[in-house]
């Protein structure tokens, strides 16, 4: 058995996420408490009650979800599960970076908070959006994006390659309006505009990427203790590549499908989603019917994973 952990990204969040493990695992409680001590807003309040309606705002979503993912991971790690690789989706890559110990939780959280700030600022300054393209071959989506960008004169690009037949594109509103019609004409089953604040994972986020890169000057990256798979390259990263890819990841597409196929080629047969909901584990099932998928987001699902995969609860 070779086990890879998957950390979800923005969109998986919901009010109440992580609360049960916070109340039952000291290590999880310590993660949330540390996050509250580091940031100038209340992470626990946003995650557990969200009385001010902040959880779906990019500025707060990213720190809240990063903390929740890592708090769940801390509980899973305490139970003694063997981990052979880590992979995060977009924001979730920061959890993978922290889990592999390239950066500490504290260091990664500070970068996540900056990333969220810069991306929200960039979305306001350079408006754009995203659409999900369902039921079209991935290569055809890539090809049409290039054609549309040339035709309109503004970019539309593949932002998330989730699985065959499910791709997200990002671009200016003008480009997306043209793209949505052309994708349907070219045979897409559905094209669904997404409720997001910006054109994430596209060149419209360039200013955010540049600002984040400027913050890395004094950050010390360590060699990964667990192999970590890159959203940008869909292969393993060393510490220098992690540093290079942190800003690139904001403007490049998430190559999730290719990353899972890469891990399967390396002999991985077990994938555990660590965080709210089951978005990534459901995608893995579509990518391959030959592997086992699990998820952990509360006490019961944690116990089930330990019983199935192995650890001190067995």
Tokens 């190559």, residue?
Answer: 255
Average pLDDT, the chain: 96
Pick the CATH number of 128-197 from 3.60.60.10, 3.40.630.20, 3.40.50.720, 3.30.70.250: 3.30.70.250
Question: Is the pLDDT at 211 greater than 80, yes or no?
Answer: yes
Chain-centroid distance of CA 219 in Å reads: 21
Q: Which of 271, 280, 306 is nearest to 76 (CA)?
A: 306
Q: Cα–Cα distance between 99 and 202 in angstroms, integer?
A: 26
The 10s digit of each residue's pLDDT in 20-38 is 999 999 999 999 999 999 9
Residue 96 and residue 66 in contact, taking contact as beta carbons nearer than 8 Å:
no
The 10s digit of each residue's pLDDT in 63-86 is 999 999 999 999 999 999 999 999
**pTM over cut 0.75:** yes
56 catalytically annotated? no
Check 100, 201, 259, 295 and give the catalytic one.
201
Residue 13 and residue 61 in contact, taking contact as beta carbons nearer than 8 Å:
yes
Q: Residue 59 half-sphere exposure, CB side, CA atoms within 13 Å?
A: 12
Cα-based torsion angle of the residue sequence 80, 85, 89, 93 in order, rounded to the nearest 10 degrees: 80
Q: Cα–Cα distance between 81 and 101 in angstroms, integer?
A: 16
Which CATH architecture describes the domain 3-124+204-309?
Answer: 3-Layer(aba) Sandwich (3.40)
CB atoms within 10 A of CB 59: 15
Q: Which of 161, 118, 116, 111 is nearest to 141 (CA)?
A: 161
Question: Is the pLDDT at 302 greater than 60, yes or no?
Answer: yes
Question: Is the pLDDT at 314 greater than 50, yes or no?
Answer: no
- Predicted confidence at residue 310, as pLDDT, reads 82
N-to-C CA span, the chain? 16
Q: Cα–Cα distance between 192 and 36 in angstroms, integer?
A: 36
Contacts of 121 (CB under 8 A, 6+ apart): 207, 208
105 exposed, middle or buried (CB, 10 Å; 0-12, 13-18, 19+)? buried
Ordered by start, the domain boundaries in the chain are 3-124+204-309, 128-197
Query: Which helix or strand (DSSP H or E) is residue 177 part of?
Result: helix 173-185
Q: Quick one: how many helices (H) and strands (E) in the chain?
A: 13, 9
Interhelix angle 138-152/173-185, nearest 10 degrees: 130
Question: Is the pLDDT at 312 greater than 70, yes or no?
Answer: no
167 exposed, middle or buried (CB, 10 Å; 0-12, 13-18, 19+)? buried
Q: Cα–Cα distance between 120 and 89 in angstroms, integer?
A: 18
Share of the chain above pLDDT 90, in %: 96
197 catalytically annotated? no
The 10s digit of each residue's pLDDT in 83-138 is 999 999 999 999 999 999 999 999 999 999 999 999 999 999 999 999 999 999 99
Check 90, 131, 202, 230 and give the catalytic one.
90
The 10s digit of each residue's pLDDT in 238-288 is 999 999 999 999 999 999 999 999 999 999 999 999 999 999 999 999 999
Q: Cα–Cα distance between 242 and 94 in angstroms, integer?
A: 10
Query: Which helix or strand (DSSP H or E) is residue 107 part of?
Result: helix 105-125
Phi, psi angles (nearest 5°) of residue 4: -115, 135
The 10s digit of each residue's pLDDT in 155-206 is 899 999 999 999 999 999 989 999 999 999 999 999 999 989 899 999 999 9
């Amino acid at each position: 058995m070779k086990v890879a952990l998957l950390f979800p990204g923005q969109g998986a969040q919901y009010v109440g996420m992580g609360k049960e493990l916070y109340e039952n695992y000291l290590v999880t409680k310590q993660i949330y408490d540390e996050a509250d001590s580091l940031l100038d807003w209340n992470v626990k309040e946003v995650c557990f009650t969200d009385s001010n309606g902040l959880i779906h705002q990019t500025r707060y979503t990213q720190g809240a979800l990063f903390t929740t993912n890592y708090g769940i991971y801390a509980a899973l790690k305490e139970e003694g599960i063997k981990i052979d690789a880590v992979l995060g989706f977009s924001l979730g890559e920061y959890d993978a970076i922290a889990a592999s110990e390239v950066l500490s939780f504290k260091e990664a959280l500070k970068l996540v908070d900056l990333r969220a700030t810069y991306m929200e600022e960039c979305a306001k300054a350079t408006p754009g959006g995203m659409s999900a393209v369902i039921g079209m071959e991935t290569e055809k989506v890539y090809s049409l994006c290039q054609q549309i960008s040339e035709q309109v004169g503004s970019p539309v690009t593949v932002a998330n390659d989730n699985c065959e037949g499910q791709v997200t594109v990002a671009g200016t509103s003008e480009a997306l309006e043209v793209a949505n019609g052309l994708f349907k004409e070219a045979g897409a089953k559905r094209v669904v505009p997404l409720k997001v604040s910006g054109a994430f994972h596209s060149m419209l986020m360039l200013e955010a990427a540049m600002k984040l890169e400027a913050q890395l000057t004094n950050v010390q990256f360590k060699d990964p203790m667990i192999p970590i798979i890159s959203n940008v390259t869909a292969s393993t990263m060393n510490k220098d590549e992690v540093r290079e890819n942190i800003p690139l990841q904001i403007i490049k597409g998430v190559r999730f499908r290719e990353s899972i196929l890469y891990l399967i080629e390396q002999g991985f047969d077990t994938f555990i989603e660590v965080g709210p909901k089951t978005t990534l584990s459901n995608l893995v099932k579509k990518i391959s019917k030959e592997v086992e998928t699990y998820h952990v987001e509360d006490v019961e699902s944690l116990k089930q994973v330990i019983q199935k995969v192995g650890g001190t609860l067995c």
